[in-house]
Structure 1
Amino acid sequence: MPLQPIPDLPVATIGFRASGTVTADDYSEVLDPAIRKAVEREEPVNLVYVLGEDFDGYSLGAMAKDLELVKVPRDALGRIALVTDHRMLGEAVHLFGFLIPAQVRVFALANESAALAWVQ
Protein backbone atom coordinates (compact mmCIF):
# COMPACT_ATOMS: atom_id res chain seq x y z
CA MET A 1 0.00 0.00 0.00
CA PRO A 2 1.50 3.37 -1.00
CA LEU A 3 0.21 5.15 2.15
CA GLN A 4 1.35 3.71 5.47
CA PRO A 5 0.34 5.20 8.83
CA ILE A 6 3.15 6.43 11.07
CA PRO A 7 2.66 4.67 14.42
CA ASP A 8 2.85 6.02 17.95
CA LEU A 9 1.78 9.62 17.35
CA PRO A 10 -0.19 11.64 19.92
CA VAL A 11 -4.01 11.56 19.73
CA ALA A 12 -4.39 14.84 17.83
CA THR A 13 -1.65 13.96 15.31
CA ILE A 14 -1.86 11.63 12.32
CA GLY A 15 0.94 10.78 9.96
CA PHE A 16 1.61 8.86 6.78
CA ARG A 17 4.53 7.72 4.67
CA ALA A 18 3.96 7.66 0.93
CA SER A 19 5.83 5.39 -1.45
CA GLY A 20 5.38 4.47 -5.09
CA THR A 21 2.46 6.16 -6.81
CA VAL A 22 -0.35 7.40 -4.56
CA THR A 23 -3.82 6.99 -6.09
CA ALA A 24 -7.31 8.29 -5.33
CA ASP A 25 -8.08 4.90 -3.78
CA ASP A 26 -5.23 5.41 -1.32
CA TYR A 27 -6.84 8.66 -0.25
CA SER A 28 -10.31 7.11 -0.03
CA GLU A 29 -9.17 4.02 1.88
CA VAL A 30 -6.43 5.43 4.14
CA LEU A 31 -6.03 9.21 4.35
CA ASP A 32 -9.63 10.44 4.15
CA PRO A 33 -10.99 8.09 6.87
CA ALA A 34 -8.11 9.01 9.19
CA ILE A 35 -8.74 12.73 8.72
CA ARG A 36 -12.52 12.29 9.17
CA LYS A 37 -12.02 10.26 12.35
CA ALA A 38 -9.57 12.80 13.75
CA VAL A 39 -11.83 15.76 12.87
CA GLU A 40 -14.75 14.08 14.67
CA ARG A 41 -12.81 14.49 17.92
CA GLU A 42 -13.54 18.22 17.56
CA GLU A 43 -10.00 19.37 18.17
CA PRO A 44 -7.47 20.60 15.61
CA VAL A 45 -5.78 17.73 13.81
CA ASN A 46 -2.09 17.86 13.00
CA LEU A 47 -0.74 15.92 10.04
CA VAL A 48 2.75 14.83 9.05
CA TYR A 49 3.10 13.53 5.52
CA VAL A 50 6.41 11.96 4.49
CA LEU A 51 7.23 11.58 0.79
CA GLY A 52 10.32 9.42 0.91
CA GLU A 53 12.94 8.66 -1.69
CA ASP A 54 10.79 5.81 -3.02
CA PHE A 55 7.81 8.13 -3.66
CA ASP A 56 7.10 8.29 -7.41
CA GLY A 57 4.20 10.73 -7.49
CA TYR A 58 0.42 11.06 -7.56
CA SER A 59 -2.13 9.78 -10.01
CA LEU A 60 -4.48 12.43 -11.46
CA GLY A 61 -7.24 11.13 -9.19
CA ALA A 62 -5.03 11.53 -6.13
CA MET A 63 -4.20 15.12 -7.13
CA ALA A 64 -7.92 15.86 -7.33
CA LYS A 65 -8.45 14.31 -3.87
CA ASP A 66 -5.58 16.43 -2.54
CA LEU A 67 -7.48 19.55 -3.55
CA GLU A 68 -10.36 18.45 -1.32
CA LEU A 69 -8.29 19.45 1.73
CA VAL A 70 -9.47 23.00 1.11
CA LYS A 71 -13.00 21.80 1.99
CA VAL A 72 -11.99 20.80 5.52
CA PRO A 73 -13.31 23.38 8.02
CA ARG A 74 -10.66 25.98 8.90
CA ASP A 75 -10.68 25.12 12.60
CA ALA A 76 -10.41 21.34 12.01
CA LEU A 77 -6.73 21.33 11.01
CA GLY A 78 -3.89 22.67 13.11
CA ARG A 79 -0.54 22.04 11.46
CA ILE A 80 0.57 20.09 8.41
CA ALA A 81 4.21 19.13 7.92
CA LEU A 82 5.24 17.91 4.49
CA VAL A 83 8.53 16.02 4.69
CA THR A 84 10.17 15.61 1.31
CA ASP A 85 13.24 16.19 -0.79
CA HIS A 86 11.06 16.48 -3.91
CA ARG A 87 11.78 20.12 -4.73
CA MET A 88 8.82 20.74 -7.04
CA LEU A 89 6.30 19.43 -4.50
CA GLY A 90 7.80 21.58 -1.78
CA GLU A 91 7.61 24.63 -4.01
CA ALA A 92 3.98 23.86 -4.93
CA VAL A 93 3.09 23.73 -1.23
CA HIS A 94 4.78 27.10 -0.69
CA LEU A 95 2.84 28.58 -3.61
CA PHE A 96 -0.58 27.15 -2.77
CA GLY A 97 -0.28 26.63 0.98
CA PHE A 98 -2.55 29.61 1.62
CA LEU A 99 -5.45 27.52 0.23
CA ILE A 100 -4.99 24.81 2.85
CA PRO A 101 -6.94 25.48 6.06
CA ALA A 102 -3.93 24.93 8.34
CA GLN A 103 -0.42 26.08 9.14
CA VAL A 104 1.82 24.34 6.61
CA ARG A 105 5.59 23.86 6.61
CA VAL A 106 7.89 21.87 4.38
CA PHE A 107 10.82 19.92 5.85
CA ALA A 108 13.65 18.01 4.19
CA LEU A 109 13.75 14.24 4.74
CA ALA A 110 16.80 14.70 6.96
CA ASN A 111 14.64 16.88 9.24
CA GLU A 112 11.75 14.43 9.76
CA SER A 113 12.19 14.49 13.55
CA ALA A 114 11.90 18.30 13.51
CA ALA A 115 8.71 17.99 11.45
CA LEU A 116 7.23 15.55 13.94
CA ALA A 117 8.13 17.85 16.83
CA TRP A 118 6.63 20.87 15.04
CA VAL A 119 3.25 19.25 14.33
CA GLN A 120 2.90 17.99 17.88
Structure 2
Amino acid sequence: MTKSNFTILDGFPADVVAIEAHGEITRADYEQTLIPLIEARIKAEGKIKLFYLIARDFAGYTVSAMWDDTRLGLSHLRDFARVALVTDVGWIRNGARMFAPLIPAPVHVFALSERHQAEEWVKAPGNEPPHEPGVDVTHKLQTMEDFQSEEP
Protein backbone atom coordinates (compact mmCIF):
# COMPACT_ATOMS: atom_id res chain seq x y z
CA MET A 1 0.00 0.00 0.00
CA THR A 2 1.34 3.41 -0.94
CA LYS A 3 1.39 6.48 1.26
CA SER A 4 -1.67 8.68 0.76
CA ASN A 5 -1.45 12.38 -0.02
CA PHE A 6 -4.54 12.82 2.15
CA THR A 7 -3.92 13.22 5.87
CA ILE A 8 -6.88 12.43 8.12
CA LEU A 9 -7.11 15.15 10.78
CA ASP A 10 -7.95 14.40 14.41
CA GLY A 11 -9.91 16.48 16.90
CA PHE A 12 -13.22 16.65 15.03
CA PRO A 13 -16.65 15.25 16.01
CA ALA A 14 -17.68 11.86 14.59
CA ASP A 15 -19.93 13.48 11.97
CA VAL A 16 -17.03 15.47 10.47
CA VAL A 17 -14.64 14.03 7.90
CA ALA A 18 -11.53 16.21 8.18
CA ILE A 19 -8.75 15.82 5.63
CA GLU A 20 -5.71 17.71 4.45
CA ALA A 21 -4.41 17.40 0.88
CA HIS A 22 -0.66 17.43 0.17
CA GLY A 23 1.34 17.07 -3.04
CA GLU A 24 -0.38 15.71 -6.12
CA ILE A 25 -3.68 13.97 -5.38
CA THR A 26 -4.16 10.76 -7.38
CA ARG A 27 -6.86 8.17 -8.01
CA ALA A 28 -5.15 5.92 -5.43
CA ASP A 29 -5.54 8.66 -2.81
CA TYR A 30 -9.28 8.68 -3.44
CA GLU A 31 -9.75 4.92 -3.73
CA GLN A 32 -7.56 3.95 -0.76
CA THR A 33 -8.26 6.82 1.63
CA LEU A 34 -11.01 9.33 0.95
CA ILE A 35 -13.79 7.23 -0.60
CA PRO A 36 -13.68 4.46 2.06
CA LEU A 37 -13.48 7.07 4.83
CA ILE A 38 -16.46 9.07 3.59
CA GLU A 39 -18.59 6.00 2.86
CA ALA A 40 -17.88 4.48 6.29
CA ARG A 41 -18.66 7.76 8.05
CA ILE A 42 -21.93 8.19 6.11
CA LYS A 43 -22.93 4.64 7.05
CA ALA A 44 -22.20 5.35 10.73
CA GLU A 45 -23.43 8.94 11.02
CA GLY A 46 -25.93 9.61 8.24
CA LYS A 47 -25.31 13.12 6.97
CA ILE A 48 -21.73 14.22 7.43
CA LYS A 49 -19.77 17.45 7.36
CA LEU A 50 -16.56 17.83 5.37
CA PHE A 51 -13.52 19.86 6.43
CA TYR A 52 -11.17 19.87 3.44
CA LEU A 53 -7.87 21.72 3.82
CA ILE A 54 -5.64 22.19 0.78
CA ALA A 55 -2.11 22.50 2.24
CA ARG A 56 0.53 24.92 0.99
CA ASP A 57 2.46 22.03 -0.61
CA PHE A 58 -0.55 20.94 -2.69
CA ALA A 59 0.53 20.38 -6.30
CA GLY A 60 -2.78 19.58 -8.01
CA TYR A 61 -4.99 16.65 -8.99
CA THR A 62 -4.44 14.02 -11.64
CA VAL A 63 -7.24 13.76 -14.20
CA SER A 64 -8.35 10.43 -12.73
CA ALA A 65 -8.45 11.99 -9.25
CA MET A 66 -10.67 14.80 -10.55
CA TRP A 67 -12.98 12.18 -12.04
CA ASP A 68 -13.10 10.28 -8.74
CA ASP A 69 -13.85 13.54 -6.93
CA THR A 70 -16.75 14.23 -9.29
CA ARG A 71 -18.13 10.68 -8.93
CA LEU A 72 -17.81 10.81 -5.14
CA GLY A 73 -19.57 14.15 -4.94
CA LEU A 74 -22.41 13.13 -7.25
CA SER A 75 -22.97 9.74 -5.62
CA HIS A 76 -23.18 11.31 -2.14
CA LEU A 77 -24.65 14.68 -3.09
CA ARG A 78 -27.33 14.61 -0.38
CA ASP A 79 -25.12 13.04 2.30
CA PHE A 80 -23.27 16.25 3.18
CA ALA A 81 -24.67 18.63 5.80
CA ARG A 82 -22.01 21.29 5.15
CA VAL A 83 -18.63 21.66 3.52
CA ALA A 84 -15.74 23.83 4.73
CA LEU A 85 -13.04 24.24 2.10
CA VAL A 86 -9.83 25.82 3.38
CA THR A 87 -7.40 26.91 0.67
CA ASP A 88 -5.46 29.76 -0.83
CA VAL A 89 -5.41 28.10 -4.28
CA GLY A 90 -7.32 30.52 -6.49
CA TRP A 91 -8.70 28.08 -9.07
CA ILE A 92 -10.04 25.79 -6.33
CA ARG A 93 -11.63 28.71 -4.45
CA ASN A 94 -13.27 29.95 -7.67
CA GLY A 95 -14.41 26.48 -8.70
CA ALA A 96 -15.96 25.83 -5.30
CA ARG A 97 -17.86 29.11 -5.45
CA MET A 98 -19.03 28.35 -8.98
CA PHE A 99 -20.36 24.87 -8.17
CA ALA A 100 -21.63 25.58 -4.63
CA PRO A 101 -25.16 26.52 -5.81
CA LEU A 102 -25.51 22.98 -7.19
CA ILE A 103 -24.70 21.37 -3.85
CA PRO A 104 -27.69 20.85 -1.51
CA ALA A 105 -25.70 21.90 1.56
CA PRO A 106 -23.93 25.07 2.62
CA VAL A 107 -20.42 25.39 1.23
CA HIS A 108 -18.09 27.95 2.77
CA VAL A 109 -14.66 28.75 1.35
CA PHE A 110 -12.02 29.89 3.85
CA ALA A 111 -8.46 31.14 3.40
CA LEU A 112 -5.67 29.18 5.10
CA SER A 113 -5.39 32.05 7.59
CA GLU A 114 -9.04 31.38 8.55
CA ARG A 115 -8.51 27.73 9.48
CA HIS A 116 -9.74 28.21 13.06
CA GLN A 117 -12.98 29.85 11.86
CA ALA A 118 -13.46 27.02 9.36
CA GLU A 119 -13.05 24.41 12.10
CA GLU A 120 -15.57 26.18 14.34
CA TRP A 121 -18.05 26.54 11.49
CA VAL A 122 -17.87 22.90 10.41
CA LYS A 123 -18.00 21.63 14.02
CA ALA A 124 -21.19 23.57 14.80
CA PRO A 125 -23.99 21.31 16.06
CA GLY A 126 -26.65 19.91 13.79
CA ASN A 127 -26.68 17.81 10.67
CA GLU A 128 -29.11 19.93 8.74
CA PRO A 129 -28.30 23.16 6.92
CA PRO A 130 -29.48 26.23 8.87
CA HIS A 131 -30.57 27.93 5.63
CA GLU A 132 -31.06 27.18 1.96
CA PRO A 133 -28.51 24.87 0.30
CA GLY A 134 -25.73 26.16 -1.89
CA VAL A 135 -23.46 29.10 -1.43
CA ASP A 136 -23.14 30.14 2.19
CA VAL A 137 -24.88 33.37 3.12
CA THR A 138 -21.53 35.19 3.04
CA HIS A 139 -21.29 34.56 -0.71
CA LYS A 140 -23.90 36.41 -2.76
CA LEU A 141 -24.48 35.54 -6.39
CA GLN A 142 -24.94 38.66 -8.47
CA THR A 143 -28.24 39.27 -10.22
CA MET A 144 -29.10 41.51 -13.16
CA GLU A 145 -30.27 44.15 -10.69
CA ASP A 146 -26.70 44.32 -9.33
CA PHE A 147 -25.51 45.48 -12.75
CA GLN A 148 -28.22 48.07 -13.43
CA SER A 149 -27.25 51.66 -12.83
CA GLU A 150 -29.57 54.16 -11.22
CA GLU A 151 -31.19 56.73 -13.51
CA PRO A 152 -30.04 60.34 -12.84
Q: Would you call these one fold, judging by a TM-score over 0.5?
A: yes
Residue number in structure 2 paired with 1:107:
110
**Number of residue-to-residue matches in the alignment:** 119
Shift of 1:48: 0.5
Larger Rg: 1 or 2? 2
Note if 1:70 corresponds to 2:57. Answer: no
Unaligned runs of 5+ in 2: 124-152
Query: Could you say which residue in structure 2 is the equivalent of 1:9?
Result: 12
Q: Runs of at least 4 residues of structure 1 off by over 6 A?
A: none
Decide whether the 8 Å contact of 1:44 with 1:78 is kept in 2.
yes
Identity of aligned residues (%): 33
Q: Contact conserved, 2:77 with 2:103, CA < 8 A, in 1?
A: no
| TM superposition score normalised by structure 2 | 0.74
TM alignment of 1:1-120, pairs within 5 A: 1-68=4-71, 69-74=73-78, 76-120=79-123
Instruction: Give ranges in structure 1 of 5+ residues lacking alignment.
Output: none
What TM-score, normalized by structure 1, do the two folds share?
0.93
RMSD: 1.2
Q: 1 or 2, which has the higher strand percentage? A: 1
Checking the alignment, whether the CA contact within 8 Å between 2:14 and 2:45 is kept in structure 1 is no
Q: CA contact under 8 A between 1:70 and 1:100: conserved in structure 2?
A: no
Q: Which range is displaced more, 17-26 or 39-48?
A: 39-48
- Deviation, 1:101, is 3.9
**Structure of higher RCO (CA pairs closer than 8 Å, 6+ residues apart):** 1
